[in-house]
């Protein structure tokens, strides 16, 4: 009798043993998708290996599902590695990796490729133009050629200033990989913000691109998954979870904008898609290509240690100049005349560009009308009843909203505490800027792009299309407008407040600010006319703000890496965040203290630094009190040993307290 071990699609940890009936043996192999009796019902799972053991009450595999629903070997291995690395049950990882509905029912017949192309948006008519590569592009392509020809794993970091033509390098590398009979995985931070990238891949590889993203219906996702699994798609383009796409013949993984925090899954099974992309390339013997104008300090450190090969594009294509970036010191009252939000230098520059028929991007990383409402008479701040955060004022209709739990209530006209009518709004958001623009530029339509205007399935594409077609000259928005967009008509970028985010209590606040400012600046001057950028700030001397004035990332990275080393933060050390939450604050605090006690008594205690336990910066969320404890060490083995033991001990039986382990956290709030 053949005995197997299987991982079951359920959060119950561990492997399960089954017998495999003779008639199923010919079709079963590691990675096969199985239907398994489980408890009193049945579940699906995957065959891990043939090392099952004879046990009383051993049950038999009910069914081996069709081969096209199985996992390729490197993917089975990747999910197993991820489960171990992130301290998550393997079943949880697989549930995140394999979209729901993939195994349901029978696979449908093949779909004609035209159907998929029809799905691609017509709002970008980019032809399959091939540019003659610049010298720097040619050098990068040659290095990629060499890596691909060598076969086997390697990672290359492509640091290219904004507008240097990184996408062209991705496309050429993809061409080579496909010519060699391979498949290509392309990860992007958010599909709705990358229509140009999608169009360029689709026109270069017509009918051979499958797209995987979170706004798809189950059926769309399932079709894309199956096309990928069958090897029909040469290129799979997707967001974070696409790192688990079932490509049987992976040769190249591209991670565009590799520094983006959205590659980190922040809830449930927490993983970093960029890091898993590199691991996956290792397991598949493929080449990983990480691209960015503002590489993460983690990737830069890997390049310095020569784990990654660094490729650089230091100039824009067609000898176009990088934008001229200037600061506007908002402390100076004379710049605030017609408006407190839009300085005279910015208004004058806007008037000039609007007169010339050119386009403008305005960036403010704060949505809503105002971020706080405070009573001048008694000082009361209007807060969320469920979370320890101020409510944001939204207008038309006037409403107070919690940006964390979505609590809503009508905007009060008097102070809820003392009934005073003296109410002060502070911290302008995009809605306030929009109304200010309406007052100052009544004849110019404005496209506003933030989470509130992009809830619909096609709203991103509609708004970006309106701006791309030049039906509007002004695009205003949050970080959504800072991403990889290539609008040649934009000659002015205005940053309404460069300081938003600088003082968030997170060790990456500076890095993130520098990245956003550099990225948004890079939207200016990408066409035939040069660009200007005006950064309004109250902190003109802050290193992250100053770094946005400098071309290239060396200066900032050098400074910041030194700080991280000094203060023991990544990439100088590795970090694990242990988060506790519960409805009873005393219980949460006690559980946190107990865990800290266990950490202090752990055999590896002298090798692992510990911060906390302390209330999280967001001390209460959805009525749950939150505490955290940070573990950090340069000794990964010691850090993991301690984390494993602490995770295993959990909250020591305090069932009302939840413990979450976040390995390599992206935010430590
Ligand atoms: P990045 O991603 O580096 O900011 P893109 O890949 O979006 O830049 O390229 C910027 C623009 O330059 C695009 O419109 C692209 O078609 C164009 N481009 C790319 N390579 C070349 C080249 N070698 N010559 C001329 N134009 C190019
Ligand atoms: Zn009051
Ligand atoms: Zn709330």
The verdict on 79 and 158 lying in the same domain is no
Cis peptide before 397 (omega within 30 of 0): yes
Domain boundary (509, 526, 561) is at 561
Q: What is the pLDDT of residue 112?
A: 39
Q: Whose CA is nearest to atom 14 of ligand 1?
A: 486
The verdict on 349 and 459 lying in the same domain is yes
Ligand 1 atom closest to Cα of 132? Answer: 23
The verdict on 263 and 348 lying in the same domain is no
DSSP SS3 for 185: strand
Domain boundary (561, 586, 604) is at 561
Q: What is the pLDDT of residue 536?
A: 98
Q: How far is the CA of 134 from the centre of ligand 1 (A)?
A: 10
Give percent above pLDDT 90 in the chain: 84
The verdict on 313 and 330 lying in the same domain is no
Q: What is the pLDDT of residue 142?
A: 97
Question: Tokens for 446?
Answer: 């404005």
Extended beta strands in 268-366, E state: 287-292, 309-313, 324-329, 359-363
Relative to the alpha carbon of 408, which ligand is closest?
Answer: 3
Cα–Cα distance list, 22 to 1, 3, 227, 322, 539 (Å): 8, 11, 30, 67, 73
Higher pLDDT, residue 106 or 647: 647
Q: Is the pLDDT of residue 162 over 90?
A: yes
Ligand 1 atom closest to Cα of 197? Answer: 7
Q: Determine, yes or no, domain membership for 421.
A: no
Cα–Cα distance list, 124 to 214, 487, 566 (Å): 22, 11, 47
Residue of 138, 162, 168, 171 with the most ligand 1 atoms within 8 Å of its CB, for mutation: 168
Mean pLDDT of 189-202: 88
Query: Residues with Cβ < 8 Å from 209, sequence gap 6 or more?
Result: 116, 198, 201, 202, 233, 234, 235, 236, 237
Q: What is the pLDDT of residue 484?
A: 82
Q: What CATH number does residue 23 fall under?
A: 3.40.1440.60
Domain encompassing residue 11:
2-97
Mean pLDDT of the chain: 92
Q: Is the pLDDT of residue 407 over 80?
A: yes
User: What is the C-alpha to C-alpha distance for residues 548 and 526, in angstroms, rounded to an integer?
Assistant: 17
For the ranges 117-131, 157-171, 432-446, 462-476, the lowest mean pLDDT is seen at 117-131
The verdict on 42 and 136 lying in the same domain is no
The verdict on 145 and 229 lying in the same domain is yes
Ligand 1 atom closest to Cα of 196? Answer: 7
Higher pLDDT, residue 212 or 158: 158
Mean pLDDT of 267-289: 96
Query: Tokens 């502070």 — which residue?
Result: 426
Mean pLDDT of 471-475: 97
Q: What CATH number does residue 646 fall under?
A: 3.30.70.600
User: What is the C-alpha to C-alpha distance for residues 595 and 650, in angstroms, rounded to an integer?
Assistant: 8
Q: Is the pLDDT of residue 9 over 60?
A: yes
Q: Whose CA is nearest to atom 17 of ligand 1?
A: 165
The verdict on 264 and 351 lying in the same domain is no
Q: Determine, yes or no, domain membership for 376.
A: no
The verdict on 516 and 583 lying in the same domain is no
Task: Kindly report the pTM of this predicted structure.
Answer: 0.94
Relative to the alpha carbon of 386, which ligand is closest?
Answer: 3
Q: Which contiguous run of DSSP H or E holds residue 202?
A: helix 195-204
Q: What is the pLDDT of residue 483?
A: 85
Q: Is the pLDDT of residue 106 over 60?
A: no
Q: What is the pLDDT of residue 70?
A: 94
Helical H segments across 230-285, by residue range: 273-284
- 135: number of Cβ within 10 Å: 9
Q: Determine, yes or no, domain membership for 386.
A: no
Q: What is the pLDDT of residue 316?
A: 94
Q: Is the pLDDT of residue 109 over 90?
A: no
Higher pLDDT, residue 308 or 191: 308
The verdict on 30 and 165 lying in the same domain is no
Q: Is the pLDDT of residue 120 over 50?
A: no
Q: Determine, yes or no, domain membership for 377.
A: no
Q: DSSP letter for 334, please.
A: G
Nearest in space to 180 (alpha carbons), one of 154, 151, 206: 151
Q: What is the pLDDT of residue 447?
A: 97
Give residue-wise pLDDT tens across range 474-512: 999 999 999 888 999 999 999 999 999 998 889 999 999
Contact (CB, 8 A) for 488 and 516: no
Mean pLDDT of 412-418: 93
User: What is the C-alpha to C-alpha distance for residues 331 and 341, in angstroms, rounded to an integer?
Assistant: 12
Q: How far is the CA of 375 from the centre of ligand 3 (A)?
A: 20
Mean pLDDT of 154-172: 96
Mean pLDDT of 188-209: 89
User: What is the C-alpha to C-alpha distance for residues 124 and 461, in angstroms, rounded to an integer?
Assistant: 10
Q: How far is the CA of 418 from the centre of ligand 2 (A)?
A: 4
Q: Is the pLDDT of residue 117 over 70?
A: no
Cα torsion angle, 217, 206, 460, 237, sign: positive
Q: Whose CA is nearest to atom 9 of ligand 1?
A: 165
Q: Is the pLDDT of residue 273 over 50?
A: yes
Mean pLDDT of 408-427: 94
Q: Determine, yes or no, domain membership for 625.
A: yes
- Give DSSP secondary structure letters for 522-546: TTSS-SSS--EEEEEES-TT-HHHH
Q: What is the pLDDT of residue 110?
A: 41
Q: What is the pLDDT of residue 61?
A: 96
Mean pLDDT of 376-405: 95
User: What is the C-alpha to C-alpha distance for residues 631 and 575, in angstroms, rounded to an integer?
Assistant: 6
Q: What CATH number does residue 333 fall under?
A: 3.40.50.300
Cα–Cα distance list, 135 to 96, 138, 312, 317, 515 (Å): 42, 5, 11, 10, 26
The verdict on 71 and 158 lying in the same domain is no
Relative to the alpha carbon of 385, which ligand is closest?
Answer: 3
Domain count, the chain: 4
Q: What is the pLDDT of residue 551?
A: 78
Burial label for 421, CB within 10 Å (0-12, 13-18, 19+), is exposed
Q: Is the pLDDT of residue 125 over 70?
A: no
Ligand 1 atom closest to Cα of 256? Answer: 2
User: What is the C-alpha to C-alpha distance for residues 5 and 52, in angstroms, rounded to an integer?
Assistant: 5
Domain boundary (540, 561, 582) is at 561
Mean pLDDT of 559-567: 95
Q: What is the pLDDT of residue 100?
A: 67
List all residues whose CB is within 6 A of at least one atom of ligand 1. Answer: 131-134, 137, 160, 162-168, 317-318, 484, 486
Q: Determine, yes or no, domain membership for 106.
A: no
The verdict on 355 and 498 lying in the same domain is yes
Q: Is the pLDDT of residue 121 over 70?
A: no
**CA angle in degrees (0–180, nearest 5) for 165-166-171:** 100
Q: Is the pLDDT of residue 661 over 80?
A: yes
Q: How far is the CA of 381 from the centre of ligand 2 (A)?
A: 8
Nearest in space to 624 (alpha carbons), one of 388, 409, 439: 388
Q: What is the pLDDT of residue 650?
A: 95
Higher pLDDT, residue 194 or 248: 248
Q: Determine, yes or no, domain membership for 654.
A: yes
For the ranges 26-40, 43-57, 104-118, 171-185, the lowest mean pLDDT is seen at 104-118
Q: What is the pLDDT of residue 103?
A: 54
Give residue-wise pLDDT tens across range 283-321: 999 999 999 999 999 999 999 999 999 999 999 999 899
Nearest in space to 322 (alpha carbons), one of 166, 548, 92, 153: 548
Query: Tokens 């306030």 — which residue?
Result: 432
Q: Is the pLDDT of residue 245 over 60?
A: yes
Q: Determine, yes or no, domain membership for 379.
A: no
The verdict on 139 and 15 lying in the same domain is no
Q: Which contiguous run of DSSP H or E holds residue 631?
A: strand 624-633
Q: What is the pLDDT of residue 505?
A: 86
Mean pLDDT of 549-553: 83
Q: Which contiguous run of DSSP H or E holds residue 490?
A: strand 490-495
């Amino acid at each position: 009798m053949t005995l197997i071990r299987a991982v079951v699609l359920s959060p119950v940890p561990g492997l399960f043993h089954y017998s495999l009936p003779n008639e199923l043996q010919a079709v079963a192999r590691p990675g096969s998708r199985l239907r398994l009796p489980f408890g009193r019902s049945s579940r699906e799972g995957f065959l891990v290996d043939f090392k099952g053991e004879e046990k009383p009450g051993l049950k038999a595999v009910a069914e081996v599902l069709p081969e096209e629903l199985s996992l390729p070997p490197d993917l089975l291995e990747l999910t197993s590695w991820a489960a171990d690395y992130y301290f998550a049950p393997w079943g949880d990882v697989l549930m995140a990796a394999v979209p729901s509905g993939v195994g349901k029912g029978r696979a449908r017949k093949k779909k004609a490729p035209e159907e998929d192309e029809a799905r691609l948006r017509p709002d970008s008519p980019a032809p399959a133009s091939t540019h003659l590569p610049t010298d720097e592009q040619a050098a990068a392509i040659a290095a990629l050629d060499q890596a691909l020809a060598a076969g086997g794993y390697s990672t290359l970091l492509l640091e290219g200033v904004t507008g240097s033509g990184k996408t062209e390098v991705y496309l050429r590398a993809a061409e080579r990989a496909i010519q060699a009979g391979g498949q290509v995985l392309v990860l992007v931070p958010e599909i709705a913000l990358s229509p140009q990238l999608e169009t360029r891949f689709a026109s270069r590889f017509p009918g051979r691109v499958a797209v995987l993203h979170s706004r798809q219906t189950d059926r769309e996702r399932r079709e894309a998954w199956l096309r990928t699994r069958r090897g029909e798609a040469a290129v799979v383009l997707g967001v974070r979870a696409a790192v688990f796409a079932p490509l049987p013949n992976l040769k190249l993984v591209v991670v565009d904008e590799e520094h983006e925090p959205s590659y980190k899954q922040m809830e449930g099974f927490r993983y970093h898609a960029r890091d898993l992309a590199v691991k996956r390339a290792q397991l598949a013997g493929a080449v990983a290509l990480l691209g960015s104008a503002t590489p993460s300090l983690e990737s830069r450190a890997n390049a310095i240690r020569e784990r990654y090969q660094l490729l650089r594009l230091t100039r824009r294509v067609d000898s176009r100049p990088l934008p001229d970036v200037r600061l506007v010191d908002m402390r100076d009252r004379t710049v605030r005349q017609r408006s407190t939000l839009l300085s005279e230098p910015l208004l004058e520059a806007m008037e000039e560009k609007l007169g010339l028929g050119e386009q403008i991007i305005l960036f403010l990383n704060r949505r809503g009308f105002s971020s706080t409402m405070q009573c001048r008479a008694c000082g009361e701040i209007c807060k969320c009843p469920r979370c320890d955060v101020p409510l944001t004022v939204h207008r038309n209709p006037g409403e107070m909203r919690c940006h964390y739990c979505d609590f809503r209530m009508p905007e009060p006209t008097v102070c809820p505490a003392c009934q005073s009518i003296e109410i002060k709004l502070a911290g302008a958001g995009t809605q306030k800027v929009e109304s200010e623009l309406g007052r100052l530029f009544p004849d110019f339509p404005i496209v506003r792009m933030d989470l509130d205007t992009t809830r619909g399935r096609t709203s991103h594409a509609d708004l970006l299309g309106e701006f791309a077609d030049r039906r509007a000259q002004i695009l205003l928005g949050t970080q959504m407008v800072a991403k990889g967009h290539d609008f040649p008509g934009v000659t002015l970028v205005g940053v309404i407040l460069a300081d938003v985010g600088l003082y968030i209590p997170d060790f990456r606040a500076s890095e993130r600010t520098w990245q956003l400012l550099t990225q948004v600046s890079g939207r200016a001057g990408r066409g035939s006319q040069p660009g200007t950028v005006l950064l309004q700030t109250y902190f003109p001397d802050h290193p992250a703000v100053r770094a946005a004035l400098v071309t290239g990332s060396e200066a900032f990275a050098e400074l910041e890496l030194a700080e991280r080393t000094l203060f023991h933060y990544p990439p100088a050390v590795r970090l694990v965040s242990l988060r506790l939450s519960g409805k009873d604050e005393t219980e949460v605090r006690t559980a946190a203290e107990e865990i800290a006690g266990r950490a202090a008594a752990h055999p590896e205690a002298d090798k692992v630094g510990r911060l906390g336990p302390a209330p999280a910066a967001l001390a209460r969320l959805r009525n749950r009190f939150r505490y955290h404890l940070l573990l950090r060490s340069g000794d990964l083995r010691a850090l993991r040993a301690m984390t494993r033991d602490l995770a295993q001990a959990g909250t020591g039986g305090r069932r009302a307290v939840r413990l979450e382990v976040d390995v390599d956290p992206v935010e430590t709030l």
